[in-house]
Amino acid sequence: MERSPFAMWGWLLQRVTGVLLVIGMFVHYLYLHFISKGHITFEIVTARLNSHWWVFFDICLLAIIIYHAVYGLLGILTDCNLKPATQKTLNYLFGIAGILLFFYGFIALLTFHYKVPVI
Amino acid sequence: MIRKLFAFIIEIPDNFHLEMLCFAGQRLSGILLALYLFAHIFVISTATLWGGDAFTAVMKAMHHPVLIVLEILLFAGVVAHMLNGIRIILGDFFALTKAQKSMISIIALIGFLVVSIGGFIMLYNFSQFHS
């Protein structure tokens, strides 16, 4: 089977996103469970996401974690030694699912920034 | 196909050692965390689908004793996946394969401390919310 040029970069990116998630999840947990004390309401979240920096942080965290999760799940299926055609279909399917999930989460995030649904 | 999918659990006794358990744990926690992520994004999107009040109501419902226990288990899963991931990266990029066993001991100790402190904070927040 001809190896996709994405194979090595995909693997490397899984490591890079992993390291970034260590930092991202640390901030995420520290803020929501230690500073906010686990008390979350719509008003509290909109107050935080009024800041462009927090919106930027959450968008980055969303994109990074979706890549890490989708690539991780795809990797488990890749370990099953599927037929090349099936594998290729799955690669595209997971890629598209990841992008759709990102936009779904992105729209949800913007709801807290603008205080009303954007769609 | 299904057998291959669960081979990482089924084949543990065939090649039983600590690193194998870490591999299976990383894979199992990864699957569970990915499933949690999808549920998490959906729960957050209640604000978009049904408005801010619905979001606040859902968040309030999360302060349920059973869910707090699950939340601590989730935190333990995140910490375990994270520390084991760091161990894998250190092993891969810094040729530390021979130090694997000692690295596992170190991450187990760090993980125990972090989950204890984090779990305590979550239980404390929970007790404050209900008092």
Is the minimum CB–CB distance between A79 and chain B shorter than 8 Å?
yes
User: Is B125 at the interface with chain A, CB within 8 A?
Assistant: yes
- CA dihedral (A22, A16, A57, B123) in degrees, to 10, reads -20
* CA nearest to A33 within chain B: B122
Q: Which of A67, A111, A113 to mutate to test the interface with B (most CBs of B within 10 A)?
A: A111
**In whole angstroms, what is the distance from residue B131 CA to residue B58 CA?**
20
Position A49 scores a pLDDT of 95
At A50, is the secondary structure helix, strand, or coil?
A: coil
Q: Nearest-CA residue of chain B relative to A74?
A: B31
Residue-wise pLDDT for A23-44, tens only, equals 999 999 999 988 888 889 999 9
- For B48, which of A40, A81, A117 is closest by C-beta distance? A117
Q: Is B130 on the interface with A (CB under 8 A)?
A: no
pLDDT of residue B26: 97
- Whether A69 sits inside 8 A of B37 (CB atoms) is yes
The Cα angle at residue B98 between residues B94 and B104, in degrees rounded to 5? 90
Domain ranges of chain B: 2-129
User: Which of A2-6, B45-49, B109-113 shows the lowest per-residue confidence on average (mean pLDDT)?
Assistant: A2-6
Single-letter amino acid, residue B18: L
- Contact A23/B114 with Cβ under 8 angstroms? no
Instruction: Check residue A2 and give its pLDDT.
Output: 59
For the record, the structure tokens of B17 come out as: 């050692």
More confident residue, B131 or B53: B53
Domains of chain A: 12-114 (1.20.1300.10)
Q: What's the pLDDT score for residue A3? A: 65
Q: Please check whether residue A76 touches B, CB under 8 A.
A: yes
Candidates A63, A68, A93; CA nearest to B34 is A68
Q: Which residues of A19-37 are buried (b: 16+ CB within 10 A; e: fewer)?
A: ebbeebbeebbeebbeeee
According to the model, what pLDDT value does residue B122 have? 93
In the predicted model, is pLDDT for residue A6 greater than 80? no
pLDDT at B84 over 90: yes
Token pair for residue A87? 């594998």
The pLDDT score that the predictor gives to residue B30 is 97
Please give the structure tokens belonging to residue B61: 């419902």
Are A39 and B125 spatial neighbours (Cβ–Cβ below 8 Å)? Answer: yes
Q: Considering chain A, what is the average pLDDT of its residues?
A: 93
For residue B61, the one-letter residue type is A
**How distant, in Å, are the alpha carbons of A13, A18, B116 from that of A67?**
9, 10, 29
Q: Report the residue of chain A nearest B57, measured CA to CA.
A: A41
Distance from the B35 Cα atom to the nearest Cα atom in chain A, whole angstroms: 9
Q: Phi, psi at residue B19, to the nearest 5°?
A: -65, -35
Architecture of domain B2-129: Up-down Bundle (1.20)
B28 touches chain A (CB under 8 A): no
Task: Write down the pTM of the prediction.
Answer: 0.93
Q: Do B48 and A77 touch (CB under 8 A)?
A: no
Listed range (A5-14, A26-35, B14-23, B110-119) with the worst mean pLDDT: A5-14
When pLDDT is cut at 50, 70 and 90, the band that residue B3 belongs to is confident
Residue A87 CB contacts under 8 Å (≥ 6 apart), including other chains: A1, A77, A78
In this predicted structure, the answer to whether residue B94 has a pLDDT above a threshold of 70 is: yes
CA distance B25 to B114: 18
* CA separation for the pair B88, B103 (Å, rounded): 10
User: Which residues in chain B have their CB less than 8 angstroms from residue A72's CB?
Assistant: 30, 34
Percent of residues, chain A, with pLDDT higher than 90: 81
Which residues, numbered 54 to 83 in chain B, qualify as contacts with chain A under a Cβ-Cβ cut-off of 8 Å? 55-56, 59-60, 62-63, 75, 78, 82
Helices within chain A (DSSP H only): 6-29, 42-48, 52-78, 84-114
